[in-house]
């Protein structure tokens, strides 16, 4: 099993523990699309308490990668995902966060 496959398996276990359902193929595509960042401690998670981090998620993933137009709905989606993952959950893995954003916004076809 490759290191990426190990990470994907780990993330799926985390989602199972959080009672978050997932589509295997979509989640795999999103995780593989993150490349080596999933192996870097700081880059592997999203800090929802840092406004600049949330702006980066909005601009680089939602607007550039998914091609969405800027608007309050993107901020609302980010807040909804942060709540879904739990405000007290200190480690919000980027792969899971992005997966939930895609599902929240109904953008599965763009991955």
How many alpha carbons fall within 13 Å on the CB side of residue 104? 21
pLDDT for res 88: 84
Whether residue 24 contacts residue 47, with contact meaning beta carbons closer than 8 Å, is answered with no
Dihedral (Cα; 88, 55, 21, 14), 10-degree rounding: -50
What is this structure's pTM?
0.96
pLDDT for res 61: 97
6-56: per-residue pLDDT in tens?
999 999 999 999 999 999 999 999 999 999 999 999 999 999 999 999 999
Q: Which domains does the chain have, with CATH numbers?
A: 3-110 (1.10.238.120)
53-81: per-residue pLDDT in tens?
999 999 999 999 999 999 999 999 999 99
């Amino acid at each position: 099993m490759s290191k990426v496959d190990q990470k994907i398996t780990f993330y799926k276990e985390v989602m199972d523990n959080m009672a978050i359902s997932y589509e295997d193929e979509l989640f795999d595509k999103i995780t593989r699309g993150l490349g080596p960042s999933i192996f870097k401690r700081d880059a592997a998670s999203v800090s929802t308490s840092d406004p600049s981090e949330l702006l980066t998620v909005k601009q680089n993933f939602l607007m550039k990668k998914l091609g969405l137009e800027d608007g309050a709905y993107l901020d609302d989606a980010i807040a909804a995902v942060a709540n879904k993952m739990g405000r007290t959950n200190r480690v919000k893995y980027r792969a899971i966060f992005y997966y939930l954003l895609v599902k929240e916004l109904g953008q599965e076809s763009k991955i």
